[in-house]
Structure 1
Amino acid sequence: MDLELRLFFFRFHSLWSVLAERKGSSVNASLLVGQGDASLTLSRLKALDEGTYICTVTLGPFNAQQVIQLHITQPPEVSLSEEKFVLKTDSPQTLSCHCSKYYPLDAQMEWWSLSPEDSEPKLLLDQGSLSSHRQHGDGSYSLSSHLSVPSSVSPGTRLTCRVSHQALDAPVSLTVVVESPTQGSYWWVLGFLIISVLFFHQVMT
């Protein structure tokens, strides 16, 4: 997208004026008149602001032009679908990693695993499935990765979603630990049995 900025610098009845043709922009007229500084201030930059800016300064019959390329980068916001991942023994479960509000388009998502038996995390061979890129009204993008976690995974395994993007100084990693349902189920069943025994004891007496 090309955006053209025109600065008109003229004198009328001993008054100097500057006109800037861009919504949301500002130019300090006193700096331009006193120091020749035609700097443009843009507030709340968005991905849609990326493009070619053309500054045109006109003084009487003379004019000068400067072309500036503006490149926008916006780091992604990363989140997991589960804060606590309790293993189910009957079927696979889906763990999702959401990467949102980033720009430009390219973002890389990886799944890593560290089991209790391993000393170093391993890149999973099955990287799950990726959603299609979604573009928002502000020009930024979102992407999701869905990992199918089999019931055979060892409790205590650390599953990590790692996101890389050019706007990040270093990859962002979010981790969830796989928890076993055995202990919780055991105490639930034991509690149910105790309550049942007490109930029948009261009924019989």
Structure 2
Amino acid sequence: MNLGLILICSALALKAELPEEPAPGSQLRSMDVVLDCNYIEEAVGGFSSAFGGSFSSDPATLVLRGVSITDDGSLDSVTNYEVPETSADSTSPIIFEVSVTLVPIPYAESLLHADCAGEEVTCEISPYTLHLADEGSSQASWFMGTLKLSSGISIALVLKVSSDREEDERMAVLHPRLKVPVSQAGTVLTTVEFQLSSRTPTLRSRLGSSVTLDCSFALAPSSPLASLEWRLQHRGSGRRVFHYQAGGMAHTEPPTAHVDVEQLLETGDASLSLHEVGVGDEGTYICLVSTSQHQAQHIIQLQLVEPPRVRLFPELVSREGDGTATLTCEISGYYPLDVSVKWTREAPDNKDKVPISVSDTYFSSHREAQDGTYSINSYLSINTATELGPVTFSCHVSHLALEEPITASAQLRAPEPKTFKGLVGAVIATLIFLSALIGLVFRRRKTVDLKSEDALKTSG
């Protein structure tokens, strides 16, 4: 971290300790944003195959000159970047000086304060081939810069090489490695002609919700917008979601997708809105912005999730004699497919009071509903003959949509104790029942005898 960044971080840390109040004196200040990068290009004569080529990577520096940054007084001690004095040979560092006069840099403050915020910035620069190149144009005079912050911000910059020399370009000094004109200080002077940015490289959303896939761009006045296209790739197949051609009408494939064309043309906001997303909307979205010469894209992953509903039955199991009982853990309505189920047993005789995992379980097959969600049942067999005390059995369900597992429990009721009073009561109840039964038999027999005597008297 250089001295300028140390001073910035110190000022920001001091500001964070003070009560937050509006800063009426805040104004925009022109600052240099300096990033450590890697220069990536295909190695000449390197090994290549059907699976890809060989690439080289070398340290490089990207200097964004004159970026507008909001200054509340914390940037007073920061000085602009000075090019180090080095010999211009193939081993010297590659320094790209970038002018932002034609196209502004988005999220500039996040890039400047990334170290203070504890963010990581990944920067790569590589040669760029024009989308539709004019005959005779130099392909080596264009580069693509890709910046990614760990917070999710992604920026693509199309850089055009310029020169500060008045003499003929053929007489200009060339970079020993890149073979493009360099400044008197040995740096590669470039201008941003096209930038594309997004702050949502990955989105996770519930089924039925609405989401916005962020994509914005800015173009130099000489490169007007030619087209915008959104595509969806999922499980080996792809389809167009939205397409706009300059001067024509916008075409949207699913009715739930929308791009505000007015904002697209006025502010460069190419964000795609999806309403009531379903399983079929999940996948990799590509925001592709094109001019007559340039083309850049951002890839955004949309992942849909739905938490499971869990029910365990029966909730109470009685121990009526010896035998077995089966507990059913019903898990339904979840997406994606992967779900984890764990069973535990907890009894008063557990010395460490920690539930014990049980393994006498089995599963049903997965079932898929019409909305694309899944269901499954998990079963636990209990030997009621060996469970002599009250026991709690629990089904723990983990899923991608859950921060913590869902737990459902069932109780195994202990057998009723056979006390002395209980035995006496049972004996007395049995004697009463027998006495009543014997009395009933004698009364019926006496009635039969009386009827027999009356019958004899009548016949005599």
Give the TM-score, by structure 2 length: 0.36
CA drift at 1:56: 4.3
Give the Cα separation in 2 of the matches to 1:62 and 1:47. 34
Aligned counterpart, 2:403: 169
Give the Cα separation in 2 of the matches to 1:53 and 1:129. 39
CA drift at 1:59: 6.7
Give the Cα separation in 1 of the matches to 2:239 and 2:369. 20
Give the Cα separation in 2 of the matches to 1:163 and 1:60. 53
Aligned counterpart, 1:91: 323
Give the Cα separation in 2 of the matches to 1:182 and 1:128. 28
Select 1:160's aligned residue among 378, 389, 394.
394
Q: Percent identity?
A: 31
CA drift at 1:70: 1.8
Give the Cα separation in 2 of the matches to 1:134 and 1:166. 18
Aligned counterpart, 2:151: none
Q: Aligned pair in 2 of structure 1 residues 127, 54: CA closer, same or farther (>3 Å)?
A: same
Give the Cα separation in 2 of the matches to 1:58 and 1:21. 20
Q: Aligned pair in 2 of structure 1 residues 20, 146: CA closer, same or farther (>3 Å)?
A: same
Give the Cα separation in 1 of the matches to 2:343 and 2:239. 40
CA drift at 1:8: 0.7
CA drift at 1:95: 0.4
Q: Residues 135-146 of structure 1: matches in 2 within 5 Å? A: 135-146=368-379
Q: Is the 2:305–2:336 contact (alpha carbons within 8 Å) kept by the matching residues of 1?
A: yes
Aligned counterpart, 1:182: 416
Q: Structure 1 unaligned runs (5+)?
A: none
Aligned counterpart, 1:122: 356
Give the Cα separation in 1 of the matches to 2:347 and 2:298. 57
Give the Cα separation in 1 of the matches to 2:285 and 2:388. 56
CA drift at 1:67: 3.7
Q: Which protein shows a greater Rg? A: 2
Q: Please give the secondary structure, in 2, of the residue aligned with 1:93.
A: strand
- Root mean square deviation, CA, Å: 3.2
Q: Aligned pair in 2 of structure 1 residues 45, 87: CA closer, same or farther (>3 Å)?
A: farther
1:10 and 2:246 matched = yes
Deviation string 1:80-108 (CA, Å, 9 cap, x unpaired) is 12233333323211101011122222111
Give the Cα separation in 1 of the matches to 2:279 and 2:345. 34
Q: Is the 1:4–1:54 contact (alpha carbons within 8 Å) kept by the matching residues of 2?
A: no
1:106 and 2:338 matched = yes
Which amino acid letter does the alignment assign opposite residue 137 of structure 1?
Q
Q: Please give the secondary structure, in 2, of the residue aligned with 1:4.
A: strand
